[in-house]
Amino acid sequence: MAKRTNDPEGLRRRVLDVAAEAFQRQGYHATGMHDLMRQAGVTGGALYHHFPTKKALGLAVIAERVAPQVQETWIDPVLAAPSTAAGIRAVLADIIAGLDARGAVSGCPLNNLALELSLSDIDFRAEIQAVFARWRGALAGKLRAEGRQDAEALAAFVVAAYSGAMAMAKADQTSDALAVCAGQFDALLG
């Protein structure tokens, strides 16, 4: 007989991973808690112990999966780059290469949840706004350090243009809009 182990944090991480993937693939509202229990291989008691409501799970996905993904995909590489322009160029090249390799575009997890949830719930809106604010703030800080007087506006433009290009890429199921966006960022940022 297999020995049963108790790993509450591992179970919680598994539920978050499964929920983040399901919300990305089919949306928050279209994802049922029973489906998540089945996909994660957990009981209702275990799921609801960690996430008493679907909303609590959704907020945790934003804070613990989506926000770190924005940090790892966008913020850290741009901050580590020799310039904001070089960082954005590298980030977009990586994203485009990944999308082209997969042959499918499921969209930006933050953007997908923002479009689906921002009008329906103030707590979701606040959590999503916080992620966007950290992203813009990091870009603006780097741009300010480079002497850009328009750092905040330019950072907002970069995030908005990328988000719109990703939505178009999702609709078209190609990375073409992101490639156009990358070219325009190069022209704008030098």
Note down the domain range covering 147.
Answer: 54-189
- In this prediction, what percent of the chain has a pLDDT beyond 90? 91
Residue at 49 is within a domain = no
pLDDT for 3 beyond 90 = no
Residue at 82 is within a domain = yes
C-alpha closest to that of 115 among 170, 153, 42: 170
Residue at 124 is within a domain = yes
Residue at 136 is within a domain = yes
Residue at 38 is within a domain = no
pLDDT for 143 beyond 90 = yes
Residue at 6 is within a domain = no
Opening angle at CA 83, ends 79 and 87, nearest 5: 60
pLDDT for 29 beyond 50 = yes
Average pLDDT over residues 46-53: 93
What pLDDT shows up at residue 8? 78
pLDDT for 2 beyond 60 = no
Using the CB atoms, write b or e for 127-145: b if 16+ within 10 Å: bbeebbeebbebbbbbbbe
Tens of pLDDT, residue by residue over 80-110, are 999 999 999 999 999 999 999 999 999 999 9
| Domain count for the chain | 1
Tens of pLDDT, residue by residue over 103-114, are 999 999 999 999
- Site of tokens 């990703």: 166
* Distances in whole angstroms, Cα of residue 166 to Cα of each of 111, 117, 124: 8, 18, 21
pTM for the model: 0.91
CATH code, domain with 117: 1.10.357.10
Confidence of residue 190 (pLDDT cuts 50, 70, 90): confident
Using CA atoms of 37, 126, 78, 83 in order, give the dihedral in degrees to the nearest 10: 170
Residue at 109 is within a domain = yes
What pLDDT shows up at residue 5? 59
Residue at 21 is within a domain = no
What pLDDT shows up at residue 1? 46
What pLDDT shows up at residue 4? 52
